[in-house]
Amino acid sequence: MPRAMTSLLVVGGNAAGMSCALKAKRRAPDLDVTVIEAGPNISYSSCGLPQLVAGTVKDPEDLLVLSPEKALERGVAVRTKTAAVALNPYTKEVTVQGPKGRDALHYDKLCIATGASPLNPLKHGDLKGVFALRHIWDGVRLMEHVDSGKGKRLAIIGGGYVGLEMAEAFLKRGSEVHLMQKGPHLLPQFDPDITDGLDEFVAQKGVRVHLDCEATGFSEGRREGHVGVVHSNLDDIHVDSALVSVGVRPNTGFAAKAGLHALSTGHLLVDDNMRTNFHDLWAAGDCVAARHLITGRPTGMPLALPSNRMGRIAGDSIAASTERIPGPSQTFAGVVGTVAMRLFGLGLAQTGLNEAQARKEGFDVATSLVETKSKASYMPGVRDMAVKMVADRDTGKLLGAELAGPEDAALRINAAAVALQAGMTARKFAEVETMYAPAFGPVWDPLLVAASEIAKQVRK
């Protein structure tokens, strides 16, 4: 008798989910792979949404990486507009809600890759004209709203990197933009030494920046059911639309109810092969807690590269678990949180812990702050740049780095990310032979100078 095919069900069809599905199918072609996705699209670039709203990317279709038809050509069946609502890991069944109602899907292997959703904790956040951004269709709805003349005065709640990128995008689209940030600094995950003056810089570009301004809720304007005012601890701001960008929470309610181990934040706990505490059940992407390589603790880190990588590793491990494939060949090492952004021609980037985070973790911290030039001082287009580095005074090991400068300077953070993950000391890093050419930097690369400064303060 022919052997029944082993089935893999993947819940969530973006970065982690599709990476898992495609990798598993490549490694184990006998697997019967199905992806269910709550929304209408799979494999879309959320990271490109600010570019779409800014008009740099003209067509939303350009942000779609893979269609369900193309996925099927690669052996992966997709059911869109189908959400998992319950899970029974003992009977291996997922209850789904789709266009034709409820259904129960059996699986042999399951991967949860449901990502995270934007928080919207503000009162009356469900009024029309209040948006949150996650999926490509959120970006399309938002653009249609602005283009229909209802986004003339817009408030962005939250001055993190998505809020700032969107502020620039809406300005380009012709809106009057109010950016409300509850603390004293924009980009609060960065060290204030690096973001010093950022609020004035952004204000000069035309964004109305409201610092220490905690939005508390919305109320209607002249049109019933439609946002008209944002209330805060400071003044009320009259608007015709608002974007809430105050963080995300993992979409793991149904999984936690089924007994999967999770942090109190809802992030699912997994091992190095992305296995959960249930047999034949994996999880990957923004919905899981990965080991932070500096603190050693499981941490939610909602970033695209780690999500794609976790998805692949889950797929690899699932293929190996069919017992017909050797492996798994890869494990997930962990995360450090390497990010970069472009803002009105400025590049900002970060990897690892900033000074405040390192102190909170109990490290005896050595720091350096280097203000220097982005290229040889005689080169046209030379700009100021700043690097801050943090290391452990006892071991000399790097804990984190941040920088701000012209937009291409942000790429330098990758060297610091390599050093961090290799466990390098500041002294060792200061000895690295970096490239020199007048068009790209000074002879002594700003990161090397920052590391040398730290080397003078550490014990090893």
Ligand X SMILES: Cc1cc2nc3c(=O)[nH]c(=O)nc-3n(C[C@H](O)[C@H](O)[C@H](O)COP(=O)(O)OP(=O)(O)OC[C@H]3O[C@@H](n4cnc5c(N)ncnc54)[C@H](O)[C@@H]3O)c2cc1C
Minimum distance from residue 38 beta carbon to ligand X (Å): 4
Single-letter amino acid code for the residue at 122: L
- Residue list 70-99, contact with ligand X (CB under 6 A): 83-84
User: Of 335 and 391, which has the nearer Cβ to ligand X?
Assistant: 335
In angstroms, the Cα distances linking 414 to 253, 286, 451 are 35, 21, 15
User: Of 135 and 150, which has the nearer Cβ to ligand X?
Assistant: 135
Sheet holding 365-373, edge to edge: 339-343, 346-352, 398-406, 384-392, 365-373
36 near ligand X, rule: CB under 6 A: yes
DSSP, collapsed to helix, strand or coil, labels residue 308 as helix
347 near ligand X, rule: CB under 6 A: no
Minimum distance from residue 133 beta carbon to ligand X (Å): 5
Q: What DSSP line would sit under 225-284, residue for residue? A: TBEEEEEESS--EE-SEEEE-S-EEES-HHHHHTT--B-TTSPEE--TT-B-SSTTEEE-
Task: Name the active-site residue from 20, 47, 111, 287.
Answer: 47
CA 387 to CA 369: how far, in whole Å? 6
- What is the H or E stretch that residue 101 is in? strand 101-106
37, 355, 402, 445: which one contacts ligand X (CB under 6 A)? 37
Residue nearest to ligand X (CB): 115
304 near ligand X, rule: CB under 6 A: yes
24, 49, 404, 458: which one contacts ligand X (CB under 6 A)? 49
Distance of CA 9 to the CA centre of its chain: 24
Contact map string, positions 395 to 434, toward ligand X, x by CB under 6 A? ----------------------------------------
- Residue list 157-176, contact with ligand X (CB under 6 A): 162
335 near ligand X, rule: CB under 6 A: no
Tokens 């200061």 correspond to what residue? Answer: 430
User: Of 284 and 401, which has the nearer Cβ to ligand X?
Assistant: 284
Contact map string, positions 119 to 138, toward ligand X, x by CB under 6 A? --------------xx----
Q: Label residue 383 exposed, middle or buried (CB < 10 Å: 0-12, 13-18, 19+).
A: middle
Minimum distance from residue 255 beta carbon to ligand X (Å): 9
- Residue list 244-303, contact with ligand X (CB under 6 A): 251, 285-286, 302-303
User: Of 162 and 290, which has the nearer Cβ to ligand X?
Assistant: 162
The bridge status of strand 109-112 relative to strand 281-283 is parallel
Using CB under 6 A as the binding criterion, the count of chain residues that bind ligand X stands at 32
Is 47 catalytic? The answer is yes
Check whether the bond before 326 is cis (ω within 30° of 0).
Answer: no
Which residue, 420, 369, 373, is CA-closest to 396?
A: 420
194 near ligand X, rule: CB under 6 A: no
Residues forming the active site? 47
